[in-house]
Structure 1
Amino acid sequence: MKAFFRNVSPRRALVDLWQVLGAPSEYRAIALVLAAMVTGGIFVVMSNQGGRGLPRPPVVTYFPSLIEGRSDAEILEENRVASAKARAEEAEEEASAERVRQMYKAVGNATGVDTKKAYDEGVAERTEEKRKIDAARKAILDKHLVDNPVFDAEQKRAQEQSPAQ
């Protein structure tokens, strides 16, 4: 056991290193440069990894809808603009999905697969899902909204005008 510890002692390792470095060799300079580059590369990679530090402070987002001093007309106009934007995005998404469905339908028709039944079932499922979502939204609004004859009349007028457009 003593012989093992004598061979692995730090003093013995330093003596061996000194002997290897002191021995004449034509590759000693190249070996030292390569060893320094490998060691330096490891340290550079480790330093670029970053470590755990203090957490970043929270980013505060201020909502423009909470700005004081806005009139009811400004609020309603912003709501109309936001609703129109949301409807336009939804319509664009639906148009894109419809284009994809038409491409699948064309591929199915070209390969001899009956796509009409699947397409009709998909349309029925999407219509039913939209009806359920609309009913749920209406139920929530009916539960939480206060009766307002002016607002109700405006909504009725808007619904009468939207199918005509």
Structure 2
Amino acid sequence: MRAFFRNVSPRRAVVDFWQVFTAPSDYRRVGLLMAAAVTGTLFTAMAMEGGTALPRPPEIIYFPSFVENRSDAEILAENKVASAKARAEAAEEEARQERVRQMYKAVGDATGVETKRAYEEGKAEREAYRKKVEAARKEVLDKHMVDNPVFDAEMKKAQNGAQ
């Protein structure tokens, strides 16, 4: 056990380093620079990791749409505006995706690759997925909706007025 501690003592390490460093060698400076670069890189990587402070607390965002004394009609109107905006964004994204698909189709046609069947299969898959999502949404709504005759009457009135 004594021999083990003699080999790993700090004094022995300093003596070994000094013997190697002072020995004549053509690569002494290059080796020293490489060792410093590797050590510096490791310490820099560890310093960049951080992790010394607690994570920031979550930022709370208050929605101004939850104002008191709103009527059901006002809520319905705000929901319609938000729904229209969401549908417009979804339609814009779908149009962007369709342009990308048409570009791929043009490249496939130019290179002689058969693209019609893949395009139709993709279209069918997207439609099936859309129907699946709509069915899941309807199921959740049907499960959690509470009967509210006043709100339902206003909904029917608003739907009839929109038509």
Specify the TM-score bucket, using the shorter chain as the normaliser: 0.5 to 0.7
2: CA distance, partners of 1:157 / 1:142: 24
Higher relative contact order (CA 8 A, sep 6+): 2
Amino acid of the residue matched to residue 129 of structure 1?
Y
Greater radius of gyration (CA): 1
1:69 has 2:75 as partner? no
2: CA distance, partners of 1:50 / 1:126: 42
1: CA distance, partners of 2:135 / 2:65: 29
Residue correspondences, number: 147
Amino acid of the residue matched to residue 158 of structure 2?
E
For residues 18-73 of structure 1, the C-alpha deviation after alignment (integer angstroms, 9 at most, x for no partner) is xxxxxxxxxxxxx9xxx9xx7xx95x958954754341441331321564425134
2: CA distance, partners of 1:70 / 1:140: 28
2: CA distance, partners of 1:64 / 1:137: 23
Q: What is aligned with 2:155?
A: 151
Provide the alpha-carbon RMSD of the alignment.
4.4
Unaligned runs of 5+ in 2: 19-28
2: CA distance, partners of 1:130 / 1:50: 42
**Structure 2 counterparts to residues 54-65 of structure 1, below 5 A:** 54-65=53-64
CA pair 94-47 structure 1, distance change in 2 beyond 3 A: closer
Q: What is aligned with 1:81?
A: 81
**What's the TM-score, normalizing by structure 1?**
0.59
**What's the TM-score, normalizing by structure 2?**
0.59
2: CA distance, partners of 1:154 / 1:141: 19
2: CA distance, partners of 1:114 / 1:123: 16
